[in-house]
Amino acid sequence: MRIIHNLDEMTETARGWLAGGSVGFVPTMGSLHQGHISLVQAAHQECEISVASIFVNPIQFEESDDLLRYPRDLSRDLQLLSTTNIDVVFIPRTEDIYPTGFSTYVMPTSSLWAVQPAKGTGSRIYTRGVATIITKLFQLVRPDIAYFGRKNAQQITIVRQVVRDLNIDVGLRILPTVRESDGLALGSRNHFLTQPERQAASVLYRALLAGKALVDGNVRNCAEIEKAMMDLVVTEPLVNLDYVKVCHSDTLSSVDTIVPGTMLMIAAHIGKVHCIDNIIWRGGTNWLL
């Protein structure tokens, strides 16, 4: 496992790979868990060279407190990565990624950010931050395939848009959400939850399953499904619901009637932690959970 901090060294290394085998890339913000590791393992299995990056991207945070509070534990991350077969861990320094004078941002100008449901994960700042950092990381690492978890639907929509619009030559692989046994999606900030908050947090997945049960029972009216999900979440006073949204998984635009490709999304603040989750109906009994 080789660790690269320096941007020129990353560029040189990536150039050396051009004639060689395929490069699989897993961008992360660190504080790694099994969700991240599942992506690393897929990259290792499917590509000749696997690379993960660890970079807490300051420009995608709307509030400086949130950035300061973001969990960082590099030695634990490296220890966890050393149990995988990852070839390279790229850990750029913030001052190298955004040096003094940095002034070029990538900003999807479609209605992408405007249709996002909530502050924190869907705002204009977040969209611009994700679009900019992913473009820079793709430039530096030059991956053939980039790996993302399905959990962060907004991130995926932004990355897809940027790759398409800027003709970036990379394939995107979207992998399932890794969950705790009660269904809570693993997240870097989950360990900030107190014990009662942690217990209450399972309501997010239960609400998604309540929506699923209605769809499975042939309900197609989105308002009815959203209401059933919200009614369940309010039974947990520790959970502050940000939104429940039934939308199309490609565009994240709201829909009135359930069709194959519809996503049930949920986001809430639980204590200091912002939790997001989603499931997608593919039609019939086919769900991406």
Total interface residues for ligand AMP by CB under 6 A: 16
- CA–CA gap between residue 27 and residue 9 (Å, rounded): 18
What is the contact mask toward ligand AMP in residues 144 to 163, using x (rule: CB under 6 A)? ----xx-xx-----------
Among positions 122, 129, 187, 211, the unique one binding ligand AMP when judged by CB under 6 A: 187
Beta-strand pair 286-288/273-283: antiparallel
- Binding residues for ligand AMP restricted to 232-251, rule: CB under 6 A: none
Q: Which 12-51 positions form the footprint of ligand AMP (CB under 6 A)?
A: 28-29, 35-36, 38-39
CB 55 within 8 A of CB 72: no
Residue with tokens 């639907």: 153
How far is residue 143's CA from residue 103's CA, in Å, rounded to a whole number?
Answer: 25
Of residues 13, 188, 249, 262, which one binds ligand AMP by CB under 6 A?
188
Q: Shortest approach of ligand AMP to residue 51 CB, angstroms?
A: 13
Cα separation values, 249 from 116, 151, 175, Å = 12, 12, 14
| Least separation in angstroms between CB 134 and ligand AMP | 10
* Near ligand AMP in 42-101, by CB under 6 A: none
| Active-site residue, 269 included | no
Q: CA of 273: how far to CAs of 19, 60, 91, in Å?
A: 44, 17, 25
C-alpha of 81 from chain center = 19
143 is a site residue for ligand AMP (CB under 6 A): no
Q: Which residues bind ligand AMP (CB under 6 A)?
A: 28-29, 35-36, 38-39, 148-149, 151-152, 177-178, 185-188
Catalytic residues, which ones? 36
